[in-house]
């Protein structure tokens, strides 16, 4: 509950950032996956999304795209969207603005070198959700800065797979931007929670869309 209250507070401090999607009466959920692509976890995610006819947005680390370009291409070929998650998964609170912005651009350059096709502003999500007002001001003319309102905590070794799933089920509603991770650290919890999450909301008539 504490973390969700913090999200509520931060969304009011930084209203220009995107925390959820207004869906009206439509039953839509916006699944996102951070920190990939990497072999194994990303493959599993894509297989699960395909099984449920779900679309999602992947916030990719540029250096992972450099190492595993075929996975980056597969994500797009299967109808999903890719967003920038910096080149080296940097914490914006612990680095100079110039270094941070250069690292974001480095990720974008990798995307473009791999033939990313995108209309309008590119998507960006700050690693750890940590970004300064100056960094926001510098990036928001070129990027849509995407946050979230449901953090599954799949990366947290102190959360059991059931706790991770229950957290996701409890807080997700229509218009939610939900974070899972296609990373090795999150893999045990994600492999348990994601298919059950998809099945639960699919049975309730929800659809999963890209941002």
Tell me which residues are annotated as active site. 34, 181
Task: Estimate to the nearest angstrom the gap between the alpha carbon of 124 and the chain centroid.
Answer: 9
Q: How far is CA 5 from CA 10, 34, 86, 112, 146, in A?
A: 9, 22, 27, 37, 18
The residues, ordered by sequence, that sit 6+ positions from 106 with a Cβ below 8 Å of its Cβ are 62, 87
Beta bridge partners of 84: 60, 124
User: Rounded to the nearest 10 degrees, how much is the dihedral formed by the CA atoms of 36, 42, 108, 142?
Assistant: -90
Tokens of 16: 């220009």
């Amino acid at each position: 509950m504490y973390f969700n209250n913090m999200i509520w507070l931060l969304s009011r401090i930084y209203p220009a950032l995107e925390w959820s999607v207004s869906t009206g009466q439509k039953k839509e959920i916006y699944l996102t996956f951070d920190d990939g692509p990497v072999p194994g976890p990303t493959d599993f995610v894509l297989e699960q999304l395909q099984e449920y006819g779900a679309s999602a947005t992947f916030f990719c680390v540029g250096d992972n795209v450099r190492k595993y370009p075929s996975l980056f291409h597969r994500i797009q070929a299967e109808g999903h969207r890719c967003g920038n998650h910096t080149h080296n998964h940097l914490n914006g609170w612990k680095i100079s603005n110039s270094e941070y912005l250069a690292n974001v651009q480095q990720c974008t350059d990798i995307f473009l070198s791999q033939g990313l096709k995108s209309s309008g502003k590119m998507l960006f999500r700050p690693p750890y959700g940590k970004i300064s007002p100056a960094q926001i001001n510098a990036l928001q003319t070129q990027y849509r800065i995407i946050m979230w309102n449901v953090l599954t905590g799949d990366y947290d070794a102190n959360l059991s797979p059931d706790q991770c799933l229950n957290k996701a089920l409890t807080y997700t509603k229509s218009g939610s931007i939900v974070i899972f991770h296609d990373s090795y650290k999150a893999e045990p919890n994600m492999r348990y929670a994601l298919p059950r999450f998809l099945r639960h909301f699919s049975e309730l008539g929800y659809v999963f869309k890209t941002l």
